[in-house]
A and B are shown apart, each in its own frame.
Chain A
Amino acid sequence: MIPQEFQYRRATSIDEAISLLKESGDEGKFLAGGHSLVPLMKLRLSEPGVLIDISRIPQLSGITEKDGTIQIGAGVTHAEVASSDLVRRLCPVVSECAAEIGDPQVRNRGTLGGSLAHADPAADYPAVMVALNAEVHIKGPGGWRAVKSGDFFQDLFTVDLAEDEIIAAVQFRPARNAAYAKLHQRASHYALVGVAAVLEMEGRTCRSASIGITGATGHAQHLANVESALSGKELTPETIAAAARIAADDLEEVNVDLHASEEYRRDMVRVFTKRAVEQAASR
């Protein structure tokens, strides 16, 4: 890779990272796994003057269980999440999602925080985090704040994160009846469409449903109409199919590219909503 010239700094704590970022003026960018940023630098689409390496900050690492929730540090790699006994036991949908990201090289380097901050419209994690109603823990010069994933993703590559803030961790309540279903783009292995379903089940009845979608539009979001169509219903093939049928109805500005037209993507939203809900319900 032949990028523009840049300076390299390594931060050892979250606070140091924030102050290094501040020092760099508008020039700084955090570097963790580099799997979103470096490809852009390679193409010179991103030309940061200072890279602040946050990959060795202890506070950003680790997966812990706390008060019935799981907290994953922003610097945890996809491979670590995919193979975490804790996550696999308590909330397998997150590990399964991580295992479907890119390829082994990407999973060994790429991080949860990087994926969320970059907010590629076809990234996998955002759909699952939205469906889990995960909280994104953010620190800035003014202290800590938390944002619900559903509010965090705002637009194409745009999130609720100020220039001087850093994602520290993600926290969510584990869900048993949850699944992520994805149509792979065969070159990049991003999601042409990815749907995460998190269901609260009582017997065969769905007390509430939370559906997150990626790949179809500019950013990950809830499928509110599917959520209401499922909530309070007994989940049968018919009710699931009926909910999936409307999955694409409220989507505006569906993505179009070489790999999939709007028409196809809309149908895949229906197909993968059905698959995710079926799989979540059957767990």
Chain B
Amino acid sequence: MAVVTPKMIGERIKRREDPRLIQGLGTYVDDIKLPGMLHLAFKRSDIAHGIIKSIDVSEAQSMPGVELVITGAELKEFLPPMPIGTPFPSPDHYSVAVDRVRYQGEPVAVVVAADRYLARDAADAIVVDYEVLPAVIDPEVAMQGQPALVHEAFENNLAVPYVPGGTGFDAEAGTVDNSAVDKAFAEADFTLSQRMMNQRLAPTAMEARGVVAHYEPGKDTLTIWSSTQNPHILKTFVAALTGIPDNQVRAIAPEVGGGFGCKINIYGEDYVAAALSKQLGKPLKWIEDRSEAFQATIHGRGILAYVDICGKNDGKVTGLKIKLIADIGAYNMILTAAIPTLTMLMLNGTYDIPAIRAELTEVFTNKMPTDAYRGAGRPEGTYFVERAMDMVARHLGMDPAEVKRKNFIKADQFPFATQMGAVYDSGDYEKTLDLALKNANWEGLKAERDRAKSEGRLVGLGVSFYVEVCGLGPSASLPTGGWEYSSVTVERSGKVTATTGSSPHGQGNETTFSQMLADQFGIPMSDVTILHGDTGVVKQGIGTFGSRSQAVGGTVLMKAGDKVKDKMARFAAAMLNPNEETDASEMVFQDGTIYFRDAPGNSVTFADVAAYAYVPVPLPEGLDPGLSEQAFWEPSNNTYPYGCHISMIEIDRDTGEPKLLKLIAVDDCGTVVNPLIVEGQIHGGLAQGIGQAMIEEVVYDDDGQLITGSFMDYAMPRATDFPRFELDKTVTPTPVNPLGAKGVGEAGTLGSTPCIVNAAVDALSEFGVTHIDMMLRPEKLWRIINQGGKS
């Protein structure tokens, strides 16, 4: 293989996407305007649970400009229930409710009208008569079958009744041997128990969802623009549900203004737009408004845990029991049921815990379904384990960092097979912990806290250590397949065009992937164009989620690049040495030229070789014309990035208001292609994790009404909510891909929540408190301060 001196990889290159995005020059779904396009609006349920007795669409239908009003019962005739991507039993879930509504905001009828305003007016004019049923809100009550069943066929509202995991669980036999776990708890010096709630969150992407569907009857083709993280999956699912063959469907993700996991899912609105466009033969658009986004875009988290942790008085943790109850809402979306299994998978944390018993139950409630939200199951697991580890340190009066160190999986134990069935690829946790403690000036920070406490201030320190599963993954780990696709073309001019199935929505792939190809080919970054998000352009792909773009998408890009480069080297060799057998692997690509390693003075330009490859006269023996190659690739394993977060917070003794004073993070995501982008990802993840810890919470009332239905009540973290983050990194490459990159998009959400709550518990330790559920609502903290530790 030809050799290139690395230049761009590792550089802090500003995102090439940003100039167009911050100048308003991007094209989002709502910017798509087609001749004759009509607009959709959804009539949504204003109750959480009820039987649809009647729907009166007469007034809506008679309004000028209204093309069609259609109910769920009518749509059902040609639009089957939505598919899911998990193997668990699931009730039928129609895009539009047929005879019963199960969450506030569920669609019950659809209007097609000449413009968006008329469509909304007509939707408002639809009158639905419900027989109201009791709302199932509390998952623990729901598990008793009370106060009602969300789905008649699911006894006690159990979507997934029982999934065991951990030590002594035999997946093949389906048996559970509790002896090791029981022995650990029987022989322990102490056992600590705590109920912990990892509350529901709303993803709140800056751009809400939206879809334009354009069926062309003459060609029997459907083009669908959607604000999605994975256009190829969208294409496959929409084709399957509408009956249009998948080679006749083209899905396009234009600029996507944030996803955070909520745009992995294919929603009812996507299917309805496609099916009705086909029926009417006209292009249709639907743009979600913010109220709809809160009600009817998936929520994240929503997992309750009963945690028991046991150990020895020297700080060694010997056993962990965690019972998880996931409040998944009213239906299974594409990955809903799988997300809490990722919580289970990560219950080892970064520790060599000899005995773990995990149990998972998933429960239907009358709320918006949950699904993947930045971190998707892993932040919940990290939170439970890291809170428990902190409780151990507090119980024993030990430094929490030292309790972690004592229980860490050691550097020489990798690859490490966990009790939960994961195989951690690589790691040196102590090194990362040490750097974080050093950067934080940990001993100095503790002295500062103690000094503040002695002055009567409520100051606390938190430390957390996380590991996550990223770079998804081998195909065994994903229902869609765990590979990625890329193509690389050297154009006639010598410019390079690459396509990637990793469809970015803020990750900056256009920048990082250009950096990689610039290095690979020895050309300027500006000569590289990265195309993505269009199944008509990118032949295949999976998408962007699970922190997989760089680890999987980046690797396959490099593989496709290598194929082209190899061929190009052979063309170059033929130009330089037309009459000799030459070894193309000795070619060097540098500064826009190609030459033999031993003869740098005798080179051809990159552009000349490209031109030759397209008019190859004479055609070198054994070569076909052209410079365009593609590759599929999947890793042999997931990656397991990790990191250490340290925080200092102060709680106002009078008001209970928490203020984050410091956040120090050291993350290890393996090889870093662009440190600026990696830091940006960590900033964003931290903002969302700190948001969860301190100010974000989805709240439904007892009737299933969404109380946090707007930004007036659901807090969006702002820059002013944070101190300056102090970031650093260690670099422990993964062996599962040749880049060594592990993924970083979700990292910030994992370390931050336990880090903040640990600090809050530390700050309030004088009141005897050992745990506080998120979010850290000032009133909750005020009650601890004023009522002696009872939150």
Contact = CB atoms under 8 A, between A and B. Distances in A.
Contacts of A259: 713, 777, 779
Contacts of A264: 778-779, 782-783
Contacts of A43: 291, 710
Given A2-B117, A2-B120, A43-B291, A186 B715 contact: yes
Contact of A188 (B120, B291, B713, B782): B713
A260 to B, nearest CB: 6
Interface in B703-718: 707-708, 710-716, 718
A148 B614 CA distance: 84
A271 B289 contact: no
Q: Pick from B655, B694, B699, B710 the residue with the most CB of A within 10 Å.
A: B655
B654 A258 contact: no
Interface residues of B, number: 30
A259 B124 CA distance: 30
B117 A5 contact: yes
A183 B711 contact: no
Contact of A44 (B124, B655, B711, B786): B124
A271 B778 CA distance: 13
B295 to A, nearest CB: 12
A100 to B, nearest CB: 12
A258 B715 CA distance: 12
Contacts of B716: 187
A188 B116 contact: no
Nearest to B695: A186
B121 interface: yes
B116 A2 contact: yes
Contacts of B246: none
B716 to A, nearest CB: 7
A188 B657 contact: no
Contact of A183 (B120, B657, B783): B657
Interface in A252-283: 258-261, 264, 267-268, 271
Interface in B685-712: 694-695, 699, 707-708, 710-712
A42 B737 CA distance: 49
A258 B782 contact: no
Given A103-B718, A183-B655, A258-B699, A267 B782 contact: yes
Q: Pick from A1, A5, A190, A268 the residue with the most CB of B within 10 Å.
A: A268
A271 B715 contact: no
Contact of B289 (A2, A4, A190, A267): A2
Interface in B278-293: 289, 291
A271 B655 contact: yes
Contacts of B694: 186
A1 B120 CA distance: 11
Interface in A38-58: 39, 42-44
Nearest to A193: B655
30 contacts: A1-B289, A2-B117, A3-B117, A5-B117, A5-B121, A39-B712, A42-B289, A43-B291, A43-B710, A103-B718, A183-B657, A183-B778, A186-B694, A186-B695, A186-B715, A187-B714, A190-B712, A258-B699, A258-B708, A258-B713, A259-B713, A260-B779, A261-B779, A264-B779, A264-B783, A267-B782, A267-B786, A268-B655, A271-B654, A271-B655
Nearest to B701: A258
Interface in B103-152: 116-117, 120-121, 124
A101 to B, nearest CB: 14
Contacts of B121: 4-5
A43 B708 CA distance: 14
A214 to B, nearest CB: 16
Q: For the complex of A and B, list the 10 residue pairs with the smallest distance between their C-beta atoms, beginning with the closest.
A: A187-B715, A264-B779, A188-B712, A271-B654, A186-B715, A186-B695, A2-B120, A258-B707, A187-B713, A260-B779
Q: Is the interface of B mostly helix, strand, loop or mixed?
A: loop
Given A43-B291, A258-B707, A264-B782, A187 B695 contact: yes
Contacts of B654: 271
Q: Pick from B291, B695, B716, B779 the residue with the most CB of A within 10 Å.
A: B779
Contacts of A260: 779
Contacts of A190: 712
A183 B779 CA distance: 11
Q: State which size class the interface on A falls in.
A: 20 to 34
A5 B394 CA distance: 61
Interface in B746-791: 777-779, 782-783, 786
Nearest to A187: B715
B711 A187 contact: yes
A186 B779 CA distance: 12
A271 B657 CA distance: 12
A183 B783 CA distance: 16
Contacts of B718: 103
Interface in A151-175: none
Interface in B649-708: 654-655, 657, 694-695, 699, 707-708
Contacts of B695: 186-187
Nearest to A260: B779
A84 to B, nearest CB: 22
Contacts of A44: 124
A268 B714 CA distance: 21
Nearest to B718: A103
Nearest to B657: A183
A5 B715 CA distance: 30
B33 to A, nearest CB: 17
A42 B715 CA distance: 19
A44 B291 CA distance: 12
Contacts of B786: 267
A238 B106 CA distance: 57
Nearest to B708: A258
Contacts of A261: 779
Contacts of B708: 187, 258
A208 to B, nearest CB: 26
B124 A188 contact: no
B206 to A, nearest CB: 14
A3 B117 CA distance: 7
A117 B297 CA distance: 35
A186 B712 CA distance: 9
A4 B708 CA distance: 24
A2 B779 CA distance: 36
Contacts of B710: 43
Interface string A172-189: 000000000001001110
Interface string A1-35: 11111000000000000000000000000000000
A271 B786 CA distance: 13
A92 to B, nearest CB: 21
Contacts of B715: 186-187
A89 B714 CA distance: 36
Nearest to B720: A103
Given A39-B712, A186-B695, 8 more contacts: A44-B124, A186-B721, A187-B695, A187-B714, A188-B713, A190-B712, A260-B779, A261-B779
A21 B116 CA distance: 28
Contacts of B711: 187-188
A3 B289 CA distance: 12
Contacts of B782: 264, 267
Contacts of A1: 289
A3 B713 CA distance: 21
Contacts of B289: 1-2, 42
B689 to A, nearest CB: 16
A60 to B, nearest CB: 27
A117 to B, nearest CB: 19
A42 B654 CA distance: 37
Contacts of A3: 117
B772 to A, nearest CB: 16
A259 B655 CA distance: 13
Contacts of A39: 712
A280 B508 CA distance: 50
B287 to A, nearest CB: 9
Contacts of B714: 187
Interface in A69-86: none
